[in-house]
Amino acid sequence: MLSTLLTSIQTALSPVRGFFIVAFVPMLFFVSANVALLRGLGELTDAQLTPYVSPDGFEMAFAIVIISMAALLLTYLQPWLLTLLEGKHLPGVIRAALQRRQTDTLDALKERATAHFKEKNALKANAATWRDGIETLFPNGAAVPEAKAALIAELADTRRRGDVITREDISRLYALTSNTGTPSAMSVDEARKEMERVIRYAEDRSRYQYFEVQNQMQFTYPGDVYDPDPSSDNIVAPTAFGNIGRTMRSYALRRYGLDLDIFWTRFQKVMADDSNSKLFENLQAQKTYVDTAVTLFWLTVLFGLIWIPLLAAWRPDVTLFRVVALGVPLAAWALYHLALQAYVVFADHVRTSVDYYRFQVLQAFHVTPPPGTKEEHVIWQRLGGFVGYANEKDTFIYAREQQR
């Protein structure tokens, strides 16, 4: 499962670095925030805190030991915290509400992609006709009427702002077939050049919008978003974090027929043995960023769950209550989105490792690399059936050169 993938990378990290960055520092921030709040409430004084900040005092050593033990417990909880952020272990009502939101978001993205696809094709079909009609729209020897000049100026300004120009926007200009009326200061050459720029920009922008939505779906949701057939990797997770996690397995399945739930630990060994590549080190570093953001997010949520109800019932300081009640949700929201961005980068590193190391994994199994993409799908599916599910029908003949 994906949790195995993440845990295997975490255990491969340097124990000291992983513990200090992922657990100890966030726990130290958590304790410091609680101490600062208690001081603001007047429950702790400088005299009470002095022994705990004295480098020679027993109290400081004891406090470091307690924080370290709490941080160690946090490292053991890290895989569970990751899966919790993916939407697992949540109460049914909360999970269902989050699932609906993710499904609606994906449906909206699909609709946007479909609309951009139609617009892209329509612009492409009309662009040649528009270009051929520029000379007719602005004939030599005739002045550009103010009505046409105004529309051209509007389209040109839209292009310079980087906003969307639709086919309806351009069609409005071509609907003005008359060249009579008050002449403008715009020349025919200027009008033709501007329209060439506008048409080219409208085509480029429509393609950009279509691929932007496509990439967003590919990087943040699993499966082939337009696949009508049922598939194990087309299931949406309850959270955005969980869906990003599922894109890694989906990518390998869709491109190569390779199931990362089965083969990831094999990839890890091959990457670790490759002394000429920094990919595994980068993967470990990015996993540290993900873990740190996730830990800070859950500690912030815990801080809010403890203090917001207490301050609401106690209310010794209304200003402090407002700061905590507003600041903690904002901080949790920011940390969650930070975790999402770190997870997107981490997932991209995993996809890259699949691209570069899949043949080395096959060689480690003494399986001859395939001659083409279709054969590769067959090999990974059969090898996955044999290794992952002990399917006796999925048999292989090992490479002879590997047996010598």
Return the number of other C-beta atoms located less than 10 Å from residue 111's C-beta. 11
* 323 in the same domain as 205: no
Residue 280: predicted pLDDT: 83
Q: How far is CA 72 from the centre of its chain?
A: 29
Instruction: Give the structural domain span for 119.
Output: 103-220
Instruction: Assess whether 171 and 70 both reside in one domain.
Output: no
Residues 261 and 328 in one domain: yes
pLDDT in tens, 244-258: 999 999 999 888 989
Final residue before a domain boundary, out of 160, 193, 220? 220
Do 354 and 284 have their domain in common? yes
Q: What is the per-residue pLDDT for 402?
A: 45
Percent of the chain with pLDDT over 70: 89
Beta bridge pairs of residue 145:
183
Residue 202 lies in a domain: yes
User: Are the C-beta atoms of 206 and 119 separated by less than 8 Å?
Assistant: yes
What contacts 232, CB < 8 A, 6 or more positions away? 253
Do 144 and 192 belong together in one domain?
yes
pLDDT at site 403: 44
Does 246 share its domain with 328?
A: yes
Which residue bears the tokens 């490479």? 399
Of 220, 249, 267, the one marking the end of a domain is 220
d(CA 184, CA 207): 33
Summarised one tens digit per residue, pLDDT across range 102-157 is 999 999 988 998 898 998 898 888 888 888 888 888 887 778 888 888 998 999 99
Phi and psi dihedrals of 227, rounded to 5? -80, 115
Angstrom distance (rounded) from CA 388 to CA 134 = 63
Query: Can you give the pLDDT at residue 54?
Result: 65
> Under DSSP, is residue 145 helix (H, G, I), strand (E, B) or coil?
strand
186 inside domain: yes
Q: Are residues 277 and 351 in the same domain?
A: yes
Query: Hey, what amino acid is at 233?
Result: D
Mark the ranges of the chain whose per-residue pLDDT is less than 50.
1-2, 4-6, 8-13, 402-404
**Looking at the structure, do residues 298 and 332 belong to the same domain, yes or no?**
yes
Provide the token pair at 262. Answer: 């089965």
Are residues 110 and 225 in contact, defined by beta-carbon separation less than 8 angstroms? yes
Number of domains in the chain: 2
- pLDDT, position 400: 64
